[in-house]
Structure 1
Amino acid sequence: MPLPPLNIYRHDRRTRALITLAGEIDLGTVPLMRTTLERCLRDGVRTIDVDLTPVTFCDCSGLNAFIEMFVHTTVAGGTLCLHHPPPMLARMIELAGAGFLLQGPSAVPGPVSRPAAPFATAPVPLAVAGFETSRRLVPAVPAVSGGVL
């Protein structure tokens, strides 16, 4: 019998949980991961550390789920922090400007994968709960009237 593409292990200690993900995080496995993280919040856990050491693959749907859960956890008054992301996920986090996912205290033994300067200088907006901070999007290419690029 083949192993499931994603195994999830949860270890609680009062209001803190260590979630270890092993395998592949993709569109098919994100609902299971999201359910586990949401269940932590429902159970009163407010500090969630996610160990990604055994993750072999993570696509953009996984990154999106981590960002959504970061917002949900922050709104609930807690913290969510990713530890030891594989190189491909660390690169996606860097490109997305989501270094805030890697900040926070370490619950995982050993050195925490901390981002270099680009993450350290990117502040996390404090008004996450209501999305009060507005930013004007500027098109990368100027609009051309009467035609399609």
Structure 2
Amino acid sequence: MTHSSPLILTVRHPADSIAVLHVSGEIDVDSAPVLRTRALELIREGRPHLVLDLAPVEFCDSSGLNTMISILRYAKDRHGSLSLAAAPPHLTRLLDITGVAHVIPTLPTTAEALHRIVRPGDSVEGLETP
């Protein structure tokens, strides 16, 4: 019997219109709706720019990929964005093979994802500036 890791979501708000959603565990048919619900709530709460920090994700299936695309569409409809950050190698490979990496910006770190969103002069917690 396999033991699946529960999905754990942690949020931080580095700027007024941005949320970083730290995702750990497994994104599958059972947990993907939880991720989608939380991400859409953040966007509705006025944080249309969302970064998913995927570093500790252990597994992601097609339900997870579909959820990410759904979140992207919802964010774009509200003049926002979705970026993926720190995806582990197994997830990066899945994103590349399926073409999702061409649709959703995928960056090596959360700081780089935030840098992509932030306009010059904005103050953002956790963003290293050169």
Do Structure 1 and Structure 2 share a fold, with TM-score over 0.5? yes
Q: State which of 50, 53, 61 in structure 2 corresponds to 1:51.
A: 53
CA distance in 2: counterparts of 1:30 and 1:93, whole angstroms: 16
**Aligned mates of 1:77, 1:107 — CA distance in 2:** 23
Verify the 8 A CA contact 1:49 1:107 in the aligned structure 2.
no
TM-score normalized by the length of structure 2: 0.74
TM-score, with structure 1 as normaliser: 0.65
CA-to-aligned-CA distance 1:24-80 (integer Å, 9 cap, x gap): 111111111001101011101111011001111111110110011111111110010
**Greater RCO, 1 or 2 (C-alpha within 8 Å, sep 6+):** 2
List alignment gaps of at least 5 residues for structure 2: 114-130
Amino acid at match of 2:8: N
Tell me what 1:10 maps to: 11
Higher helix share: 2
Specify which structure has the higher proportion of strand: 2
- Preserved CA contact (<8 Å) 2:65 2:100: no
Distance 2:106 2:25 in 1: 23
Structure 1 gap ranges (5+): 113-149
Residues 109-142 of structure 1: CA distance to partner in whole angstroms, max 9, x if unpaired? Answer: 4x67xxxxxxxxxxxxxxxxxxxxxxxxxxxxxx
Q: What RMSD in Å do the two structures reach over aligned CA positions?
A: 2.4
Out of 94-103 and 19-28, give the one that drifted further: 94-103
| CA pair 107-48 structure 1, distance change in 2 beyond 3 A | farther
- Corresponding position of 2:121: none
Any conservation in 2 of the 1:18–1:107 contact (CA below 8 Å)?
A: no
Q: Is residue 101 from structure 1 mapped to residue 104 from structure 2 by the alignment? A: yes
Question: Displacement of 1:107 after TM fit?
Answer: 7.3
- Selected match of 2:33 from 18, 22, 31: 31
Could you tell me how far 1:88 is from its partner in structure 2? 2.2
What SS does the aligned partner of 1:49 have?
strand
| Residue 75 (str. 1) matches residue 80 (str. 2) | no
Structure 1: 4+ residue segments shifted above 2 A = none
